[in-house]
């Protein structure tokens, strides 16, 4: 029996702040660019922009986000969160938890600091790109972009990522309904963003979901490489690394290697 996917357009929930409308593109440059444009359109904030194919998909740190047509979930939403600039860090953690919990309806997914969705063995299943626009003391807007490998077969993945990436379908052993996953994601984003606006902190739940903590890590920060043990996340979500020469606190960067601490 062929199981049909829930159509993306059926996921829209009028009245809901995140995902009151769903805009589906067969092909687009980047869903995040389109979501940003929608900020200038009355009622455009909160629209979920979904694409079957991106020709200019962007990842963190200037990388390209690659995904074949019609297999995976690529979605962006622009929001105007009621957050001060000093609380902007909460948004990235809240979005990561929403995405992780939506994926966990299908397979056991956790987080690699700061914004990767990973399988138990560390392979990447997805990533988040949260672009924040600050106006003085407050967050004016944020463009949340989420890419999740859903029905991408390992055999179809390009050689350069085949060893380090996987998909929900590979982990679950079955095709996943991308529409149902999008519905889970939008509901969770809505709830997580409302919670941080109400003053809640996602920090403890993020710490519990973050597989980076307690491991030996190699972190690239700009042109620097830091090696040590990922000891903690501080009160602003920054990664604290115990290195041979002392503690380093990293607010943004890329964990390029994670391995368990070997007892002395
Ligand atoms: C990363 O892991 O580097 C973040 C990847 C984010 C990719 C998503 S796909 C939907 C949205 N549109 C983009 O151009 N990028 C994000």
Task: Please determine, for residue 262, whether its predicted confidence score (pLDDT) is greater than 80.
Answer: no
Cβ of 145 below 6 Å from ligand 1 = yes
Atom of ligand 1 nearest to the CA of 31: 12
pLDDT in the model for residue 235: 94
Question: Which of 143, 149, 147 has its CA nearest to residue 81?
Answer: 143
Prediction pTM value: 0.95
**Local structure of 45: helix, strand or coil:** coil
Given pLDDT bands bounded at 50, 70 and 90, which one contains residue 35?
very high
Ligand 1 neighbour 214 (Cβ under 6 A):
no
Could you give the residue ranges of the DSSP H alpha helices within 31-88? 31-38
- Cα 96 to the chain's mean position, in Å? 5
Cα of 64 to ligand 1 centre, how many Å? 8
Q: Is the pLDDT of residue 2 over 60?
A: no
Which pair of tokens denotes residue 233?
């996340």
User: Radius of gyration over alpha carbons of the chain, in Å?
Assistant: 18
For ligand 1, say whether the CB of 126 is within 6 Å of any of its atoms. no
136 CA to middle of ligand 1, Å? 27
Q: What is the mean pLDDT of residues 148-173?
A: 96
Per-position DSSP letters for 152-188, written without gaps between them: --GGGS-HHHHTTB--HHHHHTS---HHHHHHHHHHH
Q: Which residues contact 164 (CB under 8 A, 6 or more apart)?
A: 123, 124
Residue 125 has pLDDT above 60, yes or no: yes
Residue 66 three-state SS: coil
Ligand 1 contacts CB of residue 31 (under 6 A): yes
Mean pLDDT, range 63-75, rounded to an integer: 96
List, in sequence order, every beta strand (DSSP E) within the chain.
22-28, 48-54, 73-79, 110-112, 116-118, 124-135, 138-148, 215-221, 224-233, 239-243, 246-250, 254-260
> Residue 224: helix, strand or coil by DSSP?
strand
Which of 194, 168, 51 lies closest to 105 in space, CA to CA?
168
Nearest CA to ligand 1 atom 9: 147
Cis peptide before 114 (omega within 30 of 0): yes
Q: Give 6 or 262, the one with higher predicted confidence.
A: 6
Choosing from 118, 147, 161, 253 the residue with most ligand 1 atoms within 8 A of its CB, the one to mutate for a pocket test is 147
């Amino acid at each position: 029996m062929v199981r049909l996917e829930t159509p993306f357009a059926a996921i829209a929930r009028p009245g809901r702040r995140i995902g009151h409308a769903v805009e589906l593109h067969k092909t687009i440059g980047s869903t995040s660019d389109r979501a940003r444009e929608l900020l200038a359109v009355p009622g455009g904030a909160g629209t979920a922009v979904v694409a079957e194919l991106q020709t200019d998909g962007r990842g963190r740190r200037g990388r390209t986000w690659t995904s074949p047509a019609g297999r995976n979930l690529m979605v962006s939403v622009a929001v105007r969160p009621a957050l001060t600039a000093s609380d902007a860090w909460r948004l990235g953690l809240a979005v990561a938890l929403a995405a992780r919990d939506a994926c966990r309806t299908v397979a056991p997914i956790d987080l690699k600091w700061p914004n990767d969705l990973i399988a138990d063995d560390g392979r990447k299943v997805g990533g988040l790109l949260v672009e924040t626009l600050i106006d003085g003391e407050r967050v004016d807007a944020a463009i949340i972009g989420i890419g999740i490998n859903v029905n991408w077969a390992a055999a179809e993945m390009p050689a350069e990522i085949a060893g380090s990436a996987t998909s929900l379908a590979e982990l679950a052993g079955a095709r996943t309904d991308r529409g149902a996953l999008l519905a889970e994601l939008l509901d969770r984003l809505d709830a997580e963003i409302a919670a941080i606006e109400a003053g809640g902190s996602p920090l403890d739940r993020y710490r519990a979901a973050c597989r980076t903590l307690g491991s030996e890590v190699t972190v690239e920060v700009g042109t620097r490489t830091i090696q040590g043990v990922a000891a903690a996340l501080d009160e602003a979500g920054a990664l604290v690394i115990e290195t041979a020469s002392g503690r380093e606190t990293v607010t943004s960067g890329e964990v390029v290697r994670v391995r368990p601490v070997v007892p002395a």
